[in-house]
Structure 1
Amino acid sequence: MELTTVWFILIAVLWCGYFLLEGFDFGVGMLLPVLGRDDRERRLLINTIGPVWDGNEVWLLVAGGATFAAFPEWYATLFSGFYLPLLLILVALILRGLAFEYRGKSDSPQWKRYWDWAIIGGSIVPAVLWGVAFGNIVRGVPISAEHEYVGGFFNLLNPYALVGGLTTTSLFLLHGAVFLALKTDGEIRARAGAVAVRVAVPAVVLAAGFLLWTQLTHSDVWGWVLSGAAAAALIAGVLAARARREGWAFICTGATIVLAVAALFVTLFPDVMPTTLAGGDSLTTTNAASTPYTLKVMTWVAVCFTPIVLAYQAWTYWVFRRRLRVEHIPAGGH
């Protein structure tokens, strides 16, 4: 297997990991005003992701760095063409990170309310825009023969990409609700389970519609297989959530996200960014790649350090595996 293909697969794995882990972070943030009826309950919700959210974002940093090093043409065209939505995602993630750190610095209800809205907005904006971005990557955008994006911002707001944004948002909401039902106990657990069941209907409809639209347009055999597996996992997750089997529900919703993202990358290959222009030139794993020497060095680095990072993150989740209750949150604390 060529190193260009290996790195395309590795980047796909990084995005799968990012959406799997950051997906429930976004879901928890979006559900903050729904499940948190008072400050103590909202602090409980934030504490469920407090030890892990920044580690989950490492997957995004590594995915971006790997794309820059392995496929610089892809990175340059992507960030120049998608500049505004990616900037909005970056600002939203910064504000959300600040909110986690600064929300408890004052007892003022107004102060906490402002940061709560930063968490909510910092979760909704990336959840929507990541779906829009990946929808456009798979669909194709106007790229010239010189590999330059020649469209505008409104080219990105096409029906297919917007459905992609709604799909990621609904899946992250479901994933977050299931995570909260798994990570909490008592009344919050019951509420989160009920929300998961309600969110499941639009999530199933949107995910099925988006994946079906994708495969009818591109008609890739493995894309059909992975899309079918994602649909089956999603239905199994919904049934598990209804039966209050939170562990299985979380595994299934996580598998749905991973399989759906994998289906998009399989459908995209060997392109990394197709063009919609008749005289344009699509970016592929071949013409967008770095030199063989660069890819070889990157491969050895990945082989050495990836197991360490995975082991550390797995250990973190194991340490903070206990369910949380409102009683664990001190009254009147930060």
Structure 2
Amino acid sequence: MPPTSRIPPLLQPFVRTPKNESLLLLTSTLDASANWLLTRFLCDALGSGQKDNDNGGAKNVVLVSWMNDYEFWRQESRKGTGLDLGGLRTLGRFAFVDGLSGLFLPAAEDGADQQRPQSLPAAQPGVPATRGPQSLPLRGPPGRTTPATATAQAAPRAPTSQPGLYALSSTSLDHINATVTAAIASLRPSPAAPRTLVILDNPDILLACVPGLTPASLTSFFLGLHTQPSVSHVLIHLQSDLALLAPPERPSPLQIAQQNLVVRTAHMSAKVLGVRVLDTGVARDVSGVLRVTVNRESWADIATVGEGAEGGAVQAPEEGGSEVLYKVNGDGSVRVFERGAGAAA
């Protein structure tokens, strides 16, 4: 069974990338994870062998994740869509940049570095380094350190020979950009997959970890990746919990920055997708709601004008959005259905 057949028919228009080059925004909340949807984007881009299908053909993919490591995504992709990310890495169609392990997790035990992804130098000549993530000391026995402290004390890791695996060792945007660019350059364009989709999973965590980082700097980073010749689309996954987007009368600087980042990115994006729980609360047969909105006007020559079904984008109604319900099953499969319909699509 081809991997793309694991995508329910009602979901396929939502995970297709528009024909025109563009930015895409995906939002989620703590109680409505978007991991299942990100794996379907991977499946649609990597699982298709057609050159000229509705979404402009198959694509190579670079996944940059600040919330989960490579092993998590390998298992989720295999479980939910049947994708073999290891094999796709070997073929030069997929690359992964680990933004979690080297920045926010304790240092690995001796000998574990042989299994580490490649890590580019954290600082470059003439480029000031950005301070790493700051956190308060953990309560516990003497000698216990925070993830940030453990990372700072770890010895530099030498690059490994594992193809398609990279790791961030600094929160500097210059370092992040250089690492992602190296991952993009490592892919092998082919007539069947000439372009690249870049997926950024939760880059907004940097707002809470890097003093002085602004939403404008992050959106400039998004645009910079999109301008690379081999990149056709950039999909950005951000958090949109009410505590962040609807702050109280005296919001914190982080709440203001998060709201600013989401709004900026939404205005720049050709398509905005959002997953959330039901407004009426938890339901046993429904995991949440998936809504998509298509931007009908261009922004800085990168957003697509609303396309019809032949163009690969979702045909939005007059009010500007389409909505379906979904149920994520324990085996990784997903049921997608319209409101009032209990059957799987």
TM-score of the pair, normalised by structure 1 = 0.31
Structure 1 or 2: larger strand share? Answer: 2
TM-score of the pair, normalised by structure 2 = 0.30
